[in-house]
Amino acid sequence: MTHFEQSTLLQGLPDQFFARLTATVRDHISKGHDVINLGQGNPDLPTPAFIVEALQEAATEPRFHQYSPFSGHHFLKEAVATFYKREYDVTLDPETEVAVLFGAKTGLVEISQCLLNPGDVALLPDPGYPDYASGIALAQARTALFPLLAKNDFLPDYSSFSQADVDQAKLLFLNYPNNPTAGVATHQFFEETVRFASANRICVVHDLAYGAIGFDGIKPPSFLQAEGAKETGVEMYTLSKTYNMAGWRVGFAVGNASVIKAINLLQDHLYVSLFGGIQQAAATALLSDQQEAKELATRYEKRRNVFIAGLKRIGLKVDAPKGSFFVWMPVPTGFTSESFAHYLLNEAHLVVAPGNGFGQYGEGYVRIGLLAEEERLEEAIKRLEKLDFHKG
């Protein structure tokens, strides 16, 4: 069979970290091991029944069997605007300030192609979600990394940024509650971000994937709640985590009208929007009383409490996350991120994500997903307790 060479654009893409992790897990399971997989960010619970029922009903509607409007149905964009007004007291114009996405990941990759030219700079968090870099590579642009450090509560210190990078930057990627560090932003931080971005004519891209998951009475804020935020950027939201709809691939971008227009323009050339039945179910989720979403966050908080208490009981130092469904755990003395992850997989059949997969400053940590029932988390603690962290 003839082998056709991939384009240089594809060859320049970064390694797909999560694809490698998934392959490793599959290989271990195929060998017959009882694997507890806490290494990925894939919600383990089903989509609430009322959302599934909304799709089932919508699937019978002939109007949804035709092509959807290229930029999405107006009723979904109206639902997004209602959701933002109710949850964050942010007013959005459904037609000019909302873009429907095939999941937030798509938007987070697309936005670099919308706004960056070859050689332009995007400011990226380190550690951070690896796919931000994929879009930048597809745009043939450059990344400038900034560290997220524990001493700063995993928030960037804008005063430490290289002025040369800032002068060339067009995009700034942020993500709070944060993947992988579980750091949570404050209103004050977002106000500071608006001032920084405005002064330097940088577009902010805030990834609010875990916006519904806050603990200890904390409701994670939206970037758009900061005064002037809509002038300086956009926020991307996914239904994957809020409503356990990861496989449905539906999300949206909201904020600056010129950026929303650019996203819609690119998507006009790539897609014919989402199946209308999924859009109807998504609108149903957004317009609901959010009770299921609140119960889900409470469930994650209970899991967090069980797991953190167990880790501390067996002598592991770790801070309880304030948001997201991740634990960002320092590795014990004598291990690197990868060696500890391999050790746990081989000795305890426990999967965690090595922190260095998220960037240089992720070294020394592993990311643990609270994506298993409490009994399995307790079983994970038992397995950890049997190991010797001072050898191996």
- CATH classification of the domain holding 91: 3.40.640.10
16 and 118 belong to one structural domain: no
Position 172 in a domain: yes
63 and 35 belong to one structural domain: no
The string of pLDDT tens digits covering residues 342-361 is 999 999 999 999 999 999 99
272 and 365 belong to one structural domain: no
Total domains in the chain come to 2
Q: What percent of the chain has pLDDT over 70?
A: 97
Pairing of strands 121-126, 142-147: parallel
pLDDT given at position 259: 98
259 and 313 belong to one structural domain: no
Position 273 in a domain: yes
Domain edge (last residue) among 287, 303, 336: 287
173 and 217 belong to one structural domain: yes
Position 192 in a domain: yes
Please enumerate in sequence order all residues whose Cβ is within 8 A of that of 6, keeping only pairs 6 or more positions apart, or say none.
none
pLDDT given at position 242: 96
Confidence of residue 163 (pLDDT cuts 50, 70, 90): very high
Domain edge (last residue) among 236, 268, 287: 287
Q: What is the mean pLDDT of residues 142-158?
A: 97
Mean pLDDT is lowest, of 27-31, 219-223, 282-286, for 27-31
What's the CA gap between 356 and 376, in Å, rounded? Answer: 26
Is residue 391 predicted with pLDDT exceeding 90? no
pTM of the model: 0.94
Confidence of residue 18 (pLDDT cuts 50, 70, 90): low
Confidence of residue 25 (pLDDT cuts 50, 70, 90): confident
pLDDT given at position 392: 39
pLDDT given at position 12: 85
More confident residue, 25 or 122: 122
What's the CA gap between 344 and 204, in Å, rounded? Answer: 38
Q: What is the mean pLDDT of residues 204-208?
A: 98
Is residue 258 predicted with pLDDT exceeding 60? yes
pLDDT given at position 192: 98
**How far is residue 207 from each of residues 94, 168, 174, 249, measured CA to CA in Å?**
19, 22, 6, 15
Position 299 in a domain: yes
Query: Over the chain, what is the mean pLDDT?
Result: 94
Query: What is the token pair recorded at 308?
Result: 């953190």
Query: What is the token pair recorded at 114?
Result: 């919308």
Domain range for 178: 49-287
Domain edge (last residue) among 264, 287, 310: 287
Q: Which of 131, 112, 113 is nearest to 41 (CA)?
A: 131
Q: What is the mean pLDDT of residues 81-92?
A: 98
Is residue 390 predicted with pLDDT exceeding 50? no
Confidence of residue 17 (pLDDT cuts 50, 70, 90): low
Q: How many H-runs (helices) and E-runs (strands) does the chain carry? A: 15, 12
Report the CATH number at residue 313: 3.90.1150.10
pLDDT given at position 11: 86
Is residue 385 predicted with pLDDT exceeding 70? yes
111 and 208 belong to one structural domain: yes
The string of pLDDT tens digits covering residues 88-133 is 999 999 999 999 999 999 999 999 999 999 999 999 999 999 899 9
